[in-house]
Structure 1
Amino acid sequence: MPESYIKRILDARVYDVARETPVDQALLLSKRFKNSVWLKREDLQPVYSFKLRGAYNKMHRLSPEQRERGVIAASAGNHAQGLAMAAQRMGVSATIVMPRTTPSIKVDAVRSRGAHVVLHGDNFDEASTHAQKLVKEKDLTYVHPFDDPDVIAGQGTVGMEIVRQHQEPLDAVFVPVGGGGLLAGMAAYIRYVWPKTKIIGVEPEDAACLKTALERGRRVTLPEVGLFADGCAVAQVGKETFRVIRHTVDEVITASTDEMCAAIKDIFEDTRGIAEPAGALALAGLKKYVEREGIEGQQLLAVLSGANTNFDRLRYISERTEIGEKREAVISVTIPEKPGAFRKFCNSIGRRNITEFNYRYSSAKDARVFVGVTVEPGGEDLKALIDQLAGEGYECEDLTDNEMAKLHIRHMVGGLAPEGVGGERVYRVEFPERPGALLKFLSGLGQRWNISLFHYRNHGAAYGRILVGMQVGPKERSEARACLDAIGYRYWDETDNAAYRLYLGSPDSGH
């Protein structure tokens, strides 16, 4: 039972390398949400993540013979850094298998601590499979990033510190979840000491392996996982972690990419620290919980679990932040193409802060304006704005939740396709961002269809994103789908997307 972990956690050897991190009150968030919001600052560890705790505790428990053989692990980055530092401190040879999508800041950090890095696969599960192969080939000692009692106990010291530092029971604790090691260790300890405190796991909505497992009553393997929160990009929760979690955790909340981006900004404004997406995940869940429950005056804590993110990814994060906070709306407005219409429309917007404005002449009758505008969170303000514009005779469409509009259209507004671009089908494609991935996509398409539209933008994230238009005849559509299936990247047919129809479509596009 989970109680068996209490002694393990109390005896865990972590402070040879890890530090006891502070619990800081987030004053701005506390005032905004009318609750006392606390952050457990695991981003302040020597490797900027909690993972050092479990890795070192496991290394300490290995026999001399196991250490002599050398250790190996699969990791998306933070466990790798923790194990590399632990191995360096103990004088043990370490090999780390990392997904090729791992941010370079994590790869470089692991190499700087003397570990041998092997880049393999697009996610943790593919890297883990390769690591197991190397274990057999080279007789190495495998150190699992989460599904191991000694690793779980090491991570559980985060919960032990919170109990000691806060002194009185919290109302709820929010913990990020990948494979479940941190949540299992913290939940086992906190549930035992503070039985009435709610313990809530938070997962990315596109990598919700624990939430799915709890709903089905058994572990499942997700067919694919999102890579934005690479520290939590796990397709299956651990066997041992799931055993502990199902007896100790109250619920699991999921957060979107935009919500994680908003949480990163919140953390920066309160601490001046920059969290990685997985590091801000728990706070994103805390915010959703407060909004859902309508609570006030409670003591709430989120674990800020890591700060290992590429600097160039901040560009993408900043773009998505206000939408994630529901403080920015993206709308399409049709205005008459005549002198003074543009100024009149701006007057209708009033004193609202305009964050983005894309416009181009497209016909003698009408023009379409792609607008980003600041709104009050909650949705009522946006509805009032759209109702106001509609009352003034403007045709409006809300594109705030339209992925294609946010990822591509806002960078491409330049007029509709000319007549003659017939049979255009438009596909949005996502692929693991690594050298050669874009070439693989283009090579897979071959020369079968004429490409009539193309947009690709590298913003430092683990995903590359493409919008491609191809002239595909009605009888060739199944063939085009088969071609995209064979390439193996996730894709969506966006030909009927309102944003495409309004800004890029052709009058004779054939759909």
Structure 2
Amino acid sequence: MELLSAEEISTARAVVAAMQAPTPTLRWPLLDIRLGLRAWVKHENHSRVGAFKLRGGAVYLHELMQREPRLNGVISATRGNHGQSIALAAASHGIGATIVVPHGNSVEKNAAMRALGATLIEHGDDFQQAREHAARLAIECGLHFVPSFHRDLVRGVASYWMEFFEASAADPPEVVFVPIGQGSGISACACARAVLGAKTRIVGVVSAHATAYRDSFRAGHVVEVPVTTQLADGMACRVPDDEALALIRSEVDDVLAVTDDEVAQAMRALFADTHNAAEGAGAASLAGVLQQRGRWAGRSVGITLCGGNVDSAVFARVLAGAAA
């Protein structure tokens, strides 16, 4: 995928603005002290669906309905936040959304998708199996299949990175740590950085128990890797997207891996220092900074709390210090 133009992002921001006000970009003194640096935190956990994905769904469905105004409905696969985004956007256009999730998916994310009007189907043991099933159902049922990575999804997500870079301009971050699920978040970060001419370095963060993007980044081609993470379901990618990987290899400085235990530590730190709840993937950015904080001591860095949709029982165990 090529980088987005300024016009592509500008028109996407207008679509997102009709559904979602800008989310905060904040500094937290306790977090700065913990890290020994200056941390800008982008709070996408404050969106209407508790995660950044709302933005991509809004733009994707807007463009889709312009092309196919008589569309019967859409179908997609998710571990939760993408599905909420598609369900909300589909409902705003008066069409149905079917979402496929793997067995054992987050109970509360499933409930949230149903509450947004989605028809939920459980299939497979991981996201990849759910995605393949959704693609088959799209053909069988005459539904439009919404992918997990697409230029219009990236356009929407880029709106939050534009907000981030604009809000942190007084002390521009030297580096930003970005979780990688299927690739829209980090791709959007690179596009916003390019449009604004920012010099911030980008470091991707994957789960140490789902290293497909890190391994593919290093190998120079798509590498399929089993997924075993128990906490960072938003990063549970087994097969990277070709287009996303190409952009990441072109624009990202490095990709590091954080364990479930490191993610749990970051979830606790975010709650203690900011009193914000983070899901596993939502805390991965901070987990990356905690792992690398000695390298960036005393400097300005960017963190994205990109989702707060953690099941209550899971969060209670994490806060109690249970092993991931």
| TM-score grouping bracket, smaller chain normalisation | over 0.9
- Secondary structure of the structure 2 residue equivalent to 1:206: coil
In the alignment, what sits opposite 1:153?
A: 155
Kept in 1: contact 2:175–2:200 (CA 8 A): yes
Does residue 1:22 correspond to 2:24, yes or no?
A: yes
Does residue 1:53 correspond to 2:55, yes or no?
A: yes
In the alignment, what sits opposite 2:313?
A: 312
In the alignment, what sits opposite 2:200?
A: 197
Match among 274, 286, 289 for residue 286 of structure 1: 289
- 1-structure distance, mates of 2:69, 2:251: 32
- 2-structure distance, mates of 1:167, 1:121: 44
Does residue 1:241 correspond to 2:250, yes or no?
A: no
- Secondary structure of the structure 1 residue equivalent to 2:16: coil
In the alignment, what sits opposite 1:274?
A: 277
Moved more, 28-37 or 149-158: 28-37
Q: 1:127 to 1:269 in 2, by over 3 A?
A: same
1:402-425 per-position Cα deviation (integer Å, ceiling 9, x unaligned): xxxx6xxxxxxxxxxxxxxxxxxx
In the TM superposition, what is the alpha-carbon distance from 1:314 to its structure 2 partner?
A: 2.3
Question: 2:291 corresponds to which letter in structure 1?
Answer: K
In the TM superposition, what is the alpha-carbon distance from 1:50 to its structure 2 partner?
A: 0.4
In the TM superposition, what is the alpha-carbon distance from 1:192 to its structure 2 partner?
A: 4.2
Kept in 1: contact 2:279–2:308 (CA 8 A): yes
Question: 2:30 corresponds to which letter in structure 1?
Answer: L
Question: 1:7 corresponds to which letter in structure 2?
Answer: E
1:192-240 per-position Cα deviation (integer Å, ceiling 9, x unaligned): 4244211111111011111100111001111334242111111122122
In the TM superposition, what is the alpha-carbon distance from 1:319 to its structure 2 partner?
A: 4.6
Kept in 2: contact 1:2–1:248 (CA 8 A): no
- 2-structure distance, mates of 1:227, 1:70: 32
In the alignment, what sits opposite 2:302?
A: 301
Moved more, 280-289 or 64-73: 64-73
In the alignment, what sits opposite 2:141?
A: 138
- Secondary structure of the structure 2 residue equivalent to 1:167: coil
Q: How does 1:428-447 map to 2 (within 5 A)?
A: none
Kept in 2: contact 1:67–1:141 (CA 8 A): no
Question: 2:6 corresponds to which letter in structure 1?
Answer: I
Question: 2:313 corresponds to which letter in structure 1?
Answer: D
Kept in 2: contact 1:55–1:143 (CA 8 A): no
- 1-structure distance, mates of 2:138, 2:105: 21
Runs of 4 or more, structure 1, over 6 Å off, are none
Higher strand share: 1
- 2-structure distance, mates of 1:300, 1:117: 38
In the alignment, what sits opposite 1:6?
A: 6
Q: 1:32 to 1:194 in 2, by over 3 A?
A: farther
In the TM superposition, what is the alpha-carbon distance from 1:3 to its structure 2 partner?
A: 3.6
TM-score, normalization by structure 1 = 0.60
In the TM superposition, what is the alpha-carbon distance from 1:19 to its structure 2 partner?
A: 2.3
- 1-structure distance, mates of 2:133, 2:155: 26
In the TM superposition, what is the alpha-carbon distance from 1:5 to its structure 2 partner?
A: 4.1
- Secondary structure of the structure 1 residue equivalent to 2:312: coil
RMSD of aligned Cα (Å): 1.7
TM-score, normalization by structure 2 = 0.94
In the alignment, what sits opposite 2:80?
A: 77
In the alignment, what sits opposite 1:262?
A: 265
Corresponding pairs, count: 320
In the TM superposition, what is the alpha-carbon distance from 1:165 to its structure 2 partner?
A: 1.1
- 2-structure distance, mates of 1:88, 1:99: 23
In the alignment, what sits opposite 1:124?
A: 127
Match among 169, 174, 191 for residue 171 of structure 1: 174
Question: 1:178 corresponds to which letter in structure 2?
Answer: G
In the alignment, what sits opposite 2:214?
A: 211
- 2-structure distance, mates of 1:75, 1:232: 11
Match among 41, 50, 56 for residue 39 of structure 1: 41
- Unmatched 5+ stretches in structure 2: none
- 1-structure distance, mates of 2:92, 2:11: 20
- 1-structure distance, mates of 2:321, 2:272: 16
- 1-structure distance, mates of 2:267, 2:119: 31
- Secondary structure of the structure 2 residue equivalent to 1:73: strand
Kept in 1: contact 2:190–2:251 (CA 8 A): yes
- Secondary structure of the structure 2 residue equivalent to 1:11: helix
Moved more, 281-290 or 28-37: 28-37
1:463-486 per-position Cα deviation (integer Å, ceiling 9, x unaligned): xxxxxxxxxxxxxxxxxxxxxxxx
Q: 1:263 to 1:209 in 2, by over 3 A?
A: same
In the TM superposition, what is the alpha-carbon distance from 1:258 to its structure 2 partner?
A: 0.9
Question: 1:298 corresponds to which letter in structure 2?
Answer: R
In the TM superposition, what is the alpha-carbon distance from 1:320 to its structure 2 partner?
A: 4.0
